[in-house]
């Protein structure tokens, strides 16, 4: 399983399916990092918190779904691709976005669509 892009849109973190469902491609501000879109041994769920771009490890509501899954801070794997996030008060480890610029064509669609 490979990490997927986590998009930032108006102070929210979203994965591709949510961007598509809400038709937000033209509002994507960036890809701050990569994380996982499903649970796996060794990963922890990350939920939306209060305030802009706030993340937390516990859901606000019983039926809250995680935004993404990440490596816990307790994981001591030494990989240059992993970074603590958020920088100010890290709660998880995510994968750095190696891209310097966001090259995104919001109108691009597969042939026939």
Answer yes or no: is pLDDT of 101 > 80.
no
Asked if the structure places residue 17 within a domain, the reply is yes
- List C-alpha distances in Å: 108 to 10, 103, 112: 22, 12, 11
Asked if the structure places residue 54 within a domain, the reply is yes
Asked if the structure places residue 112 within a domain, the reply is no
Asked if the structure places residue 75 within a domain, the reply is yes
Asked if the structure places residue 107 within a domain, the reply is no
Q: Which domain holds residue 54?
A: 4-96
Answer yes or no: is pLDDT of 95 > 60.
yes
Answer yes or no: is pLDDT of 54 > 90.
no
> Smallest Cα–Cα separation from 71: which of 90, 50, 97, 51?
90
Asked if the structure places residue 37 within a domain, the reply is yes
Asked if the structure places residue 108 within a domain, the reply is no
Number of domains observed in the structure of the chain? 1
Banded pLDDT at 82 (limits 50, 70, 90) = very high
User: Measured between alpha carbons, how far is 13 from 107 in angstroms, rounded to an integer?
Assistant: 21
Asked if the structure places residue 101 within a domain, the reply is no
Query: What mean pLDDT is predicted for residues 31-46?
Result: 97
User: Measured between alpha carbons, how far is 1 from 19 in angstroms, rounded to an integer?
Assistant: 21
- List C-alpha distances in Å: 101 to 43, 75, 88, 90: 28, 29, 23, 24
CB distance 33 to 87 below 8 Å? no
Answer yes or no: is pLDDT of 9 > 70.
yes
What is the rounded average pLDDT for all residues in the chain? 90
């Amino acid at each position: 399983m490979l990490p997927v892009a986590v998009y930032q849109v108006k102070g929210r973190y979203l994965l591709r399916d949510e961007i598509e469902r809400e038709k937000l491609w033209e509002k994507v501000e960036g890809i701050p990092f990569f994380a996982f879109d499903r649970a796996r041994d060794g990963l922890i769920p990350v939920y939306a918190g209060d305030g802009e771009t706030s993340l937390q490890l516990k859901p606000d509501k019983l039926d809250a779904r995680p935004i993404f899954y990440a490596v816990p801070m307790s994981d001591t794997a030494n990989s240059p691709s992993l970074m603590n996030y958020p920088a100010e008060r890290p709660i998880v480890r995510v994968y750095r976005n190696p891209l310097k610029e966001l090259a995104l064509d919001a109108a691009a669609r597969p042939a026939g669509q």
